[in-house]
Structure 1
Amino acid sequence: MNTTVPVMSSAELRRARRMTVGLAGLIYLAGWAMVTFPLPFSDAGPMPPWPVMIDYLLTVPAIYAFLHRREPRRALRGALALAGFGYLLASWILPPLAGPFWDTLRGLRNLSLAIGVAIELGILFLFFRALGGLRRAENPDYALTGVVEKVFGPGFVTRILAFELRIWFMVFAPPRWKWAYRGTRHFSYHAKDANLANQQGFLVLIAAELPVAHLLVSLWSSLAAWIFTGLSLYSLAFLFAHYRATQRCPISLDDRQLYLRYGMFLSEQAIALSQIESITLHRGPVTRDSTQLRLCESGDPNVCIRLRSPQAVAGLFGRERQIEIIYLGVDQPHAFVNAVQTTLASTESVPTAAVHTAPFTS
């Protein structure tokens, strides 16, 4: 008898997400109201804070875990994240709490911040240590993964750290450096619907509002201001890395595989041509689905690729999911579709051509 627990469908995930957001919002709002205003029909004043802490730390994560119980890993990650968010929210709206339990929680918060800073410093150390070798690498994505695998071995942690290293590489690598990519034909996506210009606009806006936001938040809390500024700087670094990678990392094709790359969102994913069921031009918006990969930032995708069977794809922060349909937004969709269709129909080997190299143009 088959005892495998089925994976949640995309519709079930959306329904569970909506229920979690609705119930969590009601619990957060009710907790704030109960510790802020006097209880009705009572002279005791507002409710003591500890029941609210139980709801924030346990009830909301338990609701998420129950609604996602068919995917244990997702349930555990989401419950832990909501517990951390609940503690931060309670620290903001509740009065200061004393006692060994609350002191322990505050110590764990400070410890988690210290661990996060230590991890980022360690990633930067690995990056600068490997920087010289990356200059001579054919493709830095594989070199970065190799650097991390020497320390941590293959696995999910390696994918996350390699993603982090890739951010800092794209930020700090000199514009004169060039490297090669697998494939004989290469297709860009930075010009579609002013993709690159939109990214430039976001970079300017974030950089301009950063000092103003820091000043405004510091009027409330200096610690919160520095935390907010640190997260904003990290976001700015990610967007700048994506801006450079968008110009630098093409979608490529050879006689056997299609190599998908899309800025920082997808470093490289090789799709065997034998796995492609069909490739067509596409018009119009795309409904979000967990079995679909959408690689298009500006406008609607203009290419649709259907696979014969699901394939695992590692996206942001090394997270893997099974993909059945791929939507792309490329600069020359007709040329791209014709090239893939011709290669699929051809039985002759394709001669090797010069690899794509392009300098940074930041």
Structure 2
Amino acid sequence: MISLSKNKWLWFSVVISLVVGSNLLIYRLESLGPLPTGIALGTLFDFIITIPLLVYFFILRKRYSLKYILPVMIAGYGAAVLIIPHGLLAAYSFVKYILLAGEAAFFLLELYVVINLIAKIPAIIKSYRTNASEIPTFPYRMKQAWDQHLQPSRVQEIFFSDMTMYYYSLFSWRKKTMLPDERMYTYHKKTGTITLYIMLIHALVLESVGFHFLLHSWSPLVATIALVLNVYTLLFFLAEIQAIRNCPIMITDKHLYLQIGLNKHLIVPLAEIKSIHQYDGPERLTNDESKQVFDAVLADFFKEKPTFEVEFHHPIEARFIYGIKKKVTKAHLRLDEPQKFFQALTTKMNAE
């Protein structure tokens, strides 16, 4: 996934702290009282408009879907309710209904898109079952069938990402994990990645139960929204585990397929590979360097150094979750059987 630079995180944290801190001080400093009723409107504006705009420009833009703006606005309203004294907030109770109306309108729009998708599902499933593919894993075969019946767009990419997540989190557990062979190479067995995700799931479940009851005593609406987001995150973690286990790195006669969990994948024509060699660069790349690299090394308790660096003749488009794309000129890999993979890939390259 495309990450923010440290400078952007720093500026984002500073600006958010100033916005939140200034509003907290207004209601906590006795020297500023009595406060006019209209001051609550300014705080609501900061938390419902200003902070979501900051989140968009610093985090969401060119990275994630705009559908996350409304949950940020609702969360901002919840935070404002905690800060603003009830007597000042009573005059603006209509704001929450405006937010709910916006969420309802967005839901109806998504429902319309979903209905159109549902109408084409039988044809997509038929294509998925009948189309021949050199790659047997679900994402590649389904994407091939998906593109045959739907026009490419960001909305379609978002729904495809969600559908893939639901498939791996809910329906893939009975499927046997593909065994490594001369064209399939695992990349997770010698890492702590699966353990890390299990720990995150455990912490998320415990946090969800306790935090839900705490929030529910204050606002049932905010508690429900937080619960839905936590369930979505839980499904994402489960799907990531299954996608890592069931989508090994693959080498065919024409391509190198790098599917790294749910988050990212890259299809490299073998003719475009300039070289593969042992990685001897720094453990951490600069922000400019990382923009050119497809990082296929899994997240772990401690970031492991790549084993190989694969360089390309020309920039190749890498695809990330929710339709995010970027051009890369090299890939960093770390596999369970590095030498076997190296020999297989060099043999295929020489045969080209």
Does TM-score exceed 0.5, indicating one fold?
yes
Would you say the 8 A contact 2:259–2:266 is kept in 1?
yes
Deviation at 1:202, TM superposition (A): 3.5
Q: Deviations over 1:306-340 (max 9, x none)?
A: 33333221112221122233222311122223332
User: Displacement, 1:154?
Assistant: 1.2
> Bigger shift: 153-162 or 286-295?
286-295
User: Counterpart of 2:162 in structure 1: which amino acid?
Assistant: E
CA deviations over 1:142-173 (Å, ceiling 9, x no partner): 45336655775212222111111111111333
Report deviation, 1:120. 11
Amino acid of the residue matched to residue 196 of structure 2? Answer: N
Is 1:325 matched with 2:322? Answer: no
User: In the alignment, is the contact (CA less than 8 A) between 1:189 and 1:250 conserved in 2?
Assistant: yes
2:14 to 4, 22, 33: 22
Q: Decide whether the 8 Å contact of 1:123 with 1:161 is kept in 2.
A: no
Cα distance, 1:27–1:100 mapped onto 2, change above 3 Å: closer
Counterpart residue number, 1:230: 228
Other structure's SS at 1:285 match: coil
**3-state DSSP class of the match of 2:191?**
helix
Counterpart of 1:250 in structure 2 is: 248
Which structure's residues are more often helix, by fraction?
2
Instruction: Measure the CA separation in 2 of the matches of 1:173 and 1:340.
Output: 32
Q: Which amino acid aligns with 2:15?
A: L
Picking from 199, 215, 218, the partner of 1:217 is 215
> Are 1:35 and 1:47, in contact at CA under 8 Å, matched by a contact in 2?
no
2:169 aligned partner: 171
- What amino acid maps onto 2:45 in structure 1? I
Q: Structure 2 length as normaliser, TM-score?
A: 0.74
Closer, same or farther: CA 132–211 of 1 in aligned 2, 3 Å = farther
Matched, 1:281 2:285: no
Match for 1:318: what amino acid? G
Q: State the distance in 2 between where 1:65 and 1:199 align.
A: 27
- Counterpart of 1:19, as a letter, is W
Q: What secondary structure, in the 3-state scheme, does the structure 1 residue paired with 2:235 have?
A: helix
For the residues of structure 2 that align with 1:319 and 1:196, how far apart are their CA atoms?
25
Q: Is the 8 A contact 1:135 1:177 kept in 2?
A: no
- Percent of matched pairs sharing the same residue: 18
The letter for the 2-side match of 1:102 is V
Q: Secondary structure at the match of 2:11?
A: helix
Structure 1: stretches of 5+ with no match in the other structure: 1-9, 350-362
- Is there any run of 5+ residues in structure 2 with no aligned partner, and where? none
The one of 79, 86, 92 aligned to 1:89: 79
Aligned twin of 1:357: none
Offset of 1:189 from its aligned partner?
1.2
Conserved? CA contact 1:187–1:331, under 8 Å: yes
Q: How many residues align?
A: 332
Structure 1 residues 302 and 233 mapped into 2: Cα distance closer, same or farther (>3 Å)?
A: same
Paired with 2:91 and 2:190, the residues of 1 have a C-alpha distance of 56
Deviates more, 1:76-85 or 1:104-113: 76-85
Counterpart residue number, 1:32:
24
Give the superposed CA RMSD: 4.3
1:249, 1:263 within 8 Å by CA — same for their partners in 2? yes
Q: Deviations over 1:218-247 (max 9, x none)?
A: 343333332222222211111111211211
Tell which deviates more after alignment, 89-98 or 22-31.
89-98
1:227 and 1:200 mapped to 2: Cα distance?
Answer: 23
